[in-house]
Amino acid sequence: MIFPFKKPLFIFLFSLFSLQISAQKEQLSSDESAQPFFKNGEAQIVAAFSQAKDWIRHDLWVETEFDSDADGKLDRMHVSVTRPAQTENGDLKLPIIYNTSPYFCGVAEDVDGLFWQVNHELGEIGPERVHPEVKARINRPVISNAHVAKWVPRGFIVVHSASPGTGLSEGAPTVGGDNESLAPKAVIEWSGG
Ligand SMILES: [Ca+2]
């Protein structure tokens, strides 16, 4: 006598699931206010921001205050911006999620001898390091898609920049040098208008 109940139960669950999907769709499609919407402290997907074809993308350079490659010109950082179309007329201002990295545009393979060999006697010169070719990954107009698909539909502008001397950013790459801090400072100040 169990079998007769299986089908109705399945249909009921399926209907419940369908109703839930419909309710979610209705909530998304009815929200045409093009304003960020938060629920339980979390940014929700807003229908008006969710179509990637409508997003505005910028591929640009921001001038910094340093010249780390000493070519006599201030270094410029390669920056990408993805934002909802509703920000175009200036009426809608949205917060920015900003991510900078020296790794967006390619890194060396992890090969033996890449890192400085410290296992040698004091005063002796260690073995020569290996310098493998780095294959550049130049992604335009979006430097990285990290964060774009998740946050733009939730009412954020997403900005990425490549660190000095990496990708299409000018300058000399350093590890923790002043230019690595001053580069994002320049981008943040630029993005704040
Ligand atoms: Ca320069």
- Kindly give the distance from the C-alpha atom of residue 138 to the centroid of ligand 1, in angstroms, as a whole number: 20
Whether the Cβ atoms of residue 14 and residue 20 lie closer than 8 Å to each other: no
Q: How many CA atoms lie within 13 A of 69 on its CB side?
A: 15
Rounded average pLDDT per 10-residue block, the chain, 193 residues: 41 41 44 85 96 96 97 98 94 95 90 88 89 87 92 98 95 92 97 85
- Kindly give the distance from the C-alpha atom of residue 74 to the centroid of ligand 1, in angstroms, as a whole number: 5
Residue 171: the pLDDT is 97
- Kindly give the distance from the C-alpha atom of residue 158 to the centroid of ligand 1, in angstroms, as a whole number: 26
Residue 175: the pLDDT is 87
In the chain, where the domains are located: 1-30, 35-191
- Kindly give the distance from the C-alpha atom of residue 161 to the centroid of ligand 1, in angstroms, as a whole number: 17
Residue 88: the pLDDT is 93
Report phi then psi at 134, rounded to 5: -100, 120
- Kindly give the distance from the C-alpha atom of residue 127 to the centroid of ligand 1, in angstroms, as a whole number: 32
Residue 155: the pLDDT is 97
- Kindly give the distance from the C-alpha atom of residue 141 to the centroid of ligand 1, in angstroms, as a whole number: 23
Residue 120: the pLDDT is 87
